C-alpha cells in the first residue's frame, strides 16, 4: 500500500466521524512544514502531493486527525519514505493563537522545534539540531539510544517559563521508565512526546507513544513535582525519538 492510500483512508474516516466541521487544510500544513524545515536546516524541503520531501529519502506526511480544528496537527515523520509502514513515527501538536493561520504557524513552529529537529538530526547526526542520549546516560530512557528534541515552553503571566525551566533542569525520561516498561510495538524508531503544565487549578499531563496516549506514563508525569502556577499559565513540550535499544 502506498503512503497516500495508507493515511488518506483513515483521515477521511476520522473527518466523517467529526461531521467534517473543521476539515484539515492539508496543503497549508504541508507548505508550512516545508518552509519551517527549510529555514531550520538550510536544505530544501518541498511539498508535492501528500508529503513534504527532504534530503536522504526523508519525508513528512499529514496523518489522520483526532482533534478538532485546523490548529490541531497530526504529522508523520518518515525517516525512510520508501518504507512508510516500517519507519513512520506519528506525533500531534496544537496551535494556541487566535485565528486559523497564526495558530497553524505556531503549531508548526512548536512541532519543528521539538519533533521536526529529531528528523533533521537523524540526517546530520552531529548534535546540530538535537541532543543524543546514549543508553547509559543519566538523562536517558534506560537501555535506549535516543535523539532528544528541544524543550518548548509557553504560557501567560510572570511564571510562564516555570515548567519549561523545571524540565530543562531535570531528566524526566528516567522517571517515566517504570511506566513505559511494558515495551513498545517495535524495537526502533519510537516517538515519545511529553506535554504538561497548567494554571489556576487546571493541570494537564500527556505522554504519547507514536501519537497514542500512554495512560500510565501520563499519570506518572502528572504526579511529578513540576511547578504549579497559581496565576497565569505555564506549559512545556518536548519529543524524544528512540532510535535503537542498547546493543543494536
Q: Which residues on neighbouring strands pair with residue 240, listed in sequence order?
A: 148, 192
User: Taking the mean position of all CA atoms in its chain, how far away is CA 216?
Assistant: 19
pTM, entire model: 0.88
State how far the Cα of 47 lies from the Cα of 5, in Å rounded to an integer: 17
Kindly state the helix (H) or strand (E) to which residue 114 belongs, with its residue range: none
pLDDT in tens, 30-67: 999 999 999 999 999 999 888 999 999 999 999 876 55
Is residue 40 within 8 Å of residue 55, measured between CB atoms?
no
Per-residue pLDDT of the chain (248 residues; tens, 9 = 90+): 233 322 333 333 333 333 333 444 788 899 999 999 999 999 999 998 889 999 999 999 998 765 555 567 899 999 999 898 888 999 999 877 666 778 888 899 999 999 999 999 999 999 999 999 999 999 999 999 999 999 999 999 999 999 999 999 999 999 999 999 988 988 899 999 999 999 988 999 999 999 999 999 999 999 999 999 999 999 999 999 999 988 76
Is residue 63 within 8 Å of residue 90, measured between CB atoms?
yes
- Phi, psi angles (nearest 5°) of residue 150: -70, 165
The three cell numbers of residue 45 are 524541503
Q: Which residues on neighbouring strands pair with residue 93, listed in sequence order?
A: 73
Q: What share of the chain is helix, strand, coil (3-state, %, to 5)?
A: 35, 30, 40
Amino acid at each position: 500500500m502506498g503512503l497516500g492510500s495508507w493515511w488518506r483512508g483513515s483521515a477521511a474516516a476520522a473527518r466523517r466521524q467529526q461531521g467534517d466541521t473543521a476539515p484539515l487544510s492539508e496543503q497549508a500544513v504541508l507548505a508550512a512544514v516545508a518552509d519551517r524545515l527549510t529555514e531550520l536546516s538550510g536544505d530544501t524541503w518541498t511539498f508535492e502531493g501528500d508529503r513534504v520531501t527532504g534530503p536522504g529519502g526523508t519525508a513528512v506526511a499529514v496523518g489522520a486527525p483526532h482533534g478538532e480544528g485546523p490548529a490541531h496537527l497530526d504529522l508523520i515523520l518518515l525517516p525512510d519514505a520508501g518504507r512508510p509502514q516500517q519507519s513512520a513515527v506519528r506525533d500531534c501538536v496544537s496551535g494556541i493563537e487566535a485565528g486559523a493561520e497564526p495558530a497553524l504557524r505556531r503549531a508548526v513552529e512548536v512541532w519543528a522545534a521539538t519533533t521536526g529537529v529529531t528528523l533533521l538530526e537523524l540526517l546530520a547526526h552531529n548534535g546540530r539540531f538535537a541532543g543524543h542520549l546514549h543508553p547509559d546516560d543519566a538523562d536517558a530512557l534506560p537501555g535506549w539510544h535516543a535523539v532528544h528534541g528541544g524543550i518548548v515552553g509557553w504560557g501567560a503571566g510572570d511564571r510562564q517559563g516555570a515548567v519549561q525551566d523545571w524540565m530543562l533542569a531535570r531528566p524526566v525520561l528516567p522517571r517515566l521508565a517504570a511506566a513505559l516498561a511494558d515495551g513498545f510495538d517495535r524495537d526502533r524508531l519510537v516517538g515519545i512526546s511529553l506535554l504538561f503544565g497548567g494554571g489556576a487549578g487546571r493541570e494537564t499531563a500527556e505522554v504519547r507513544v507514536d501519537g497514542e496516549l500512554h495512560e500510565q506514563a501520563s499519570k506518572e508525569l502528572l504526579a511529578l513535582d513540576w511547578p504549579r502556577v497559581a496565576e497565569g499559565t505555564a506549559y512545556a513540550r518536548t519529543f524524544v525519538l528512540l532510535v535503537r535499544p542498547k546493543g543494536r
